Structure formats: C-alpha cells, structure tokens
Structure 1
Amino acid sequence: MRTTLKIKEMNNLLNQELSEANSVLDKFVYSCSHDLKGPLASIKGLIRLAEKSTRDDITDECLHLINESVVRMDNFLKSLESFVGNARGPIVNTTIYFNESIAKVLDHYLDYARANKIKFRVRVKQDQKFVSDQLRITLILEHLIQNAVVFQDLKKTEKFVDIDVKVTPKHATIEVCDNGEGISKENINDIFQMFYRSSESSKGSGLGLYIVQEAVSKLGGEVSVASSKGVGSNFIVKIPNNL
C-alpha cells in the first residue's frame, strides 16, 4: 500500500512539474512570437511608406526607424541565444580575468556611450586567481551592463555606469551601478521574471535579468538589487571561487 501511495505521489509531482514546464514553454513561444512580429510589422510598414514617398527626409527617417527595429530584433535574438546557452550548456571551469571580460563587453557600447555622453567607470581588484564558467560570467556582465546602458535617463546632464569587481579566495563580487531611470518599488520584485517588462514601451527584451538570475544560480551565487525610480539602480552579484 505504501509503495502504491509513493508511486501516486511521484506521478502527481511529475505531472505537476510537466504542467508547469508546458506553461512556461507556452509563454516562452508566445512571447518570442510577439516580440519578433512587432519589429517585423514596423519594418514592413516603413518600407511601404518609403516606397510611396518622394521626399528624401521621409525616406531617411524611415531608414533610421527600420534600423532601430532591426537592432531591437537582433538584441532579442542574442538574448534567446544567451538563454539557450545558459540553460543547456555544461559548467566549464576556467581562470577568469575580469578586466579582459569587462573590456570585451564594453566594446559593444562605446559608440553609443560616446554619442550619449555616458561615462563608464571600471574598478577591478583581482590579486587572487578566480575560477568559474567563462560563458556564464560573460552573460552576467553583458546583461547587467546592457541593462544599465539601455535604461539610462538621457535627459540627465551626467550619466554613468560604474562596474566594480572584488575577488577573494572565496568569491567574486560584481557590482554594477547606474544613475538611470531606476525601478519603482511596485516593480522591483518582478524584474527577474522571464519576459517581464514594466511597460509595453520598454526598450529591453524582458530576458536580460532573468538570464542573469539563472546564470548566477547555476554558478551557486546570489544576486540582489537596490533601486529607486528616477535615481538609478545598483545590482550586486556574488559568485563562489571554484579554486
């Protein structure tokens, strides 16, 4: 009798887990479809408008908006690649050099930062060897920095993104601080959810912070955030040193 009950309990648990997995998959597919259809519809409409227009200024504006939609789609597809890489890829421990890892990530944003007068300040204290998974460390840095850049308040006179890393024999602490748009109190508990956006006009993919949390979790670390709307955000990640 006890064996029969245990089998039933296990089946119920498996069915519940399968139902939850299917629900997540349904949401994932729907959100992907929605996020790709939007920019595609914009591109199609802008191309039709440009074809009908005889004015160069309208054509130029259409091309500018088409480029923005293409960039948005490209960023979303990169987020999907990150999501799959983190979910499926094995943990591969190697020596991490944070100065090099951060420099590679920042290289993607230097032109945008110069154009919008965003200052990057990087401080790395690594006198100690640090061993972890390079793919996931890069994903964490990339999405935290991208988040800080994308949600800058461009109306502010001074704009900055501070990246601070400290390595000890036990762990590495990564801190990414910005004075951007910030997060309201009612939204801060939801920001790590898959495809979460504070509004339909949100500029992000809705996957970045979810990927950060998942990558940190796979490395056995923890992530926390302090933020105020209109003031900025401060993300702190702690990752064990697998020496």
Structure 2
Amino acid sequence: MPPPVPPEERRKPSPAESREWTQRFFQGLGVGVPLPAHAELPAAYSALVRGILSSAAVSPAPPRVSCTLSVSPAAVNAYDTLHGGMVAAVAEAVGMACARAAAGDKEMFLGELSTAYLSAARLNSEVEVEAQILRKGRSVVVTTVEFRLKDTKKLCYLSRATFYIMPQPNTSREDSPAAAVMRMRGFVRRTRQCVRRRVMAESRERRGMPSWSWRRSSVEELRPHWSSSFGDLVAVGFIDLSSHSV
C-alpha cells in the first residue's frame, strides 16, 4: 500500500498580492462605480427604504405594523439576496412605526438594534414584515420585527429594536413660581422642626434634665449647638430665626 500523500502546504501571499486581491474584491462589489445623481439627494436613503415597502397595515390593539417588502435590484448584494444593511434599515423604520403606534407621537430615537440572519431572501421575492411590541415602559419601547417569505412563510430575519423616548418638559402648574415658593416654605418649616427637636434633646442631655422636664431657652443661648448644615442655611438667608425662640 503506497504511503499517503502529504497535504500540500499553502503558500503565504506576499503583501503586494494581498493588496491586489483585496482591491479586486472591492472592485467586484462596485466600489469604483460612481453613484447616480438621485443617490446624492438628502432624502435618498428614506426614498430607497420606502420604495421597497408596500401594503402597510397598522393594528392599534395590540400595536402591530405589517407590510410587504419587494426585493428589488437596488436592495440586493453581490449574491442577489436582500442586503443586510437594507434588512436593518427596514427593521428600524417598521419598528419605529410600531413604537409610535404604542407610545403616541413622541420624540424617540433608536438605542439598540440586533438582527439574526437566519435565511436569505432572493431577488424579486416578496417578504412579509411584521413588527409588534415586546415591552413598553415610560421611557423605553422594545419592538420585535419578523421577516418571512410570503409564499412559504419561512422566517428569514429576526430583529429586535430598542427605542428611547425623549423626556418632555414639564409645563404643569407644579413648576410655577408660586409652587416653588410653597415648596421652599415647606422645606424651611421641616428644617426648623428637625433642628428644634435636636437642640432640645442635646440641651436636656447637657443639663442632666429628665426627658419630661425642660425649660425655654433663647435662640442666642442655643446658637452654638446648631448643626453646621443648619447654620449654613441661616448664614445664606434661607432661615431667619432672629425673632424666634425654642
């Protein structure tokens, strides 16, 4: 029996050969081809996404958005299948529409997008896209987007998008100047009560008085025993106890 033939060792390409192969790869993808004039317009990206979507339907309860995606030559890669970037763009657009259907017309932005590429959608095929709410909170909405072939119902892509709702300015009456003054007065009143209780307790302990017996003391006598934080409030003018006694 003849001995086995040893495997042929692959020759490591030189740096010049590696650069040449890389350039040929990108040239085959059409990197050197100039873009058409309509692709330079500001709304070219949105028009490209809208151009492959049709038959959109919105269900309010529960929030659900479904549409049909037609795999056109403008949305495929070098292998004549739906481009991965187009899948992400459609998932963002349809997921945003579903999030707005659930949260209302609020300002929001995409925070996270993950896509699982399970199969491929061929050129000239139709794909059913459906988005639904996975979780909804006060400041975040999570949607899931499914891509299924229209004829076989086979799941091709599965995306999950997280949208964050921009905080809205509070214009209620609680932020009026009168409400702010009332809150400040309540803060001062509570601070006075806390300091009075603390000063009285320290004064009774220092004089050895029983807990049920105490005498009235002037503010000037108890002033050295104030806490530093309360003294700072008095110093800046938040609290005026010059005419009060404990």
Q: TM-score range by the shorter chain?
A: under 0.3
| Length-normalised TM-score, structure 2 | 0.25
Query: Higher helix proportion, which one?
Result: 1
TM-score after normalising by structure 1 = 0.25
**Which one has a bigger Cα radius of gyration?**
2
Kindly indicate whether structure 1 or structure 2 has the higher relative contact order, using CA contacts under 8 Å at least 6 residues apart. Answer: 1
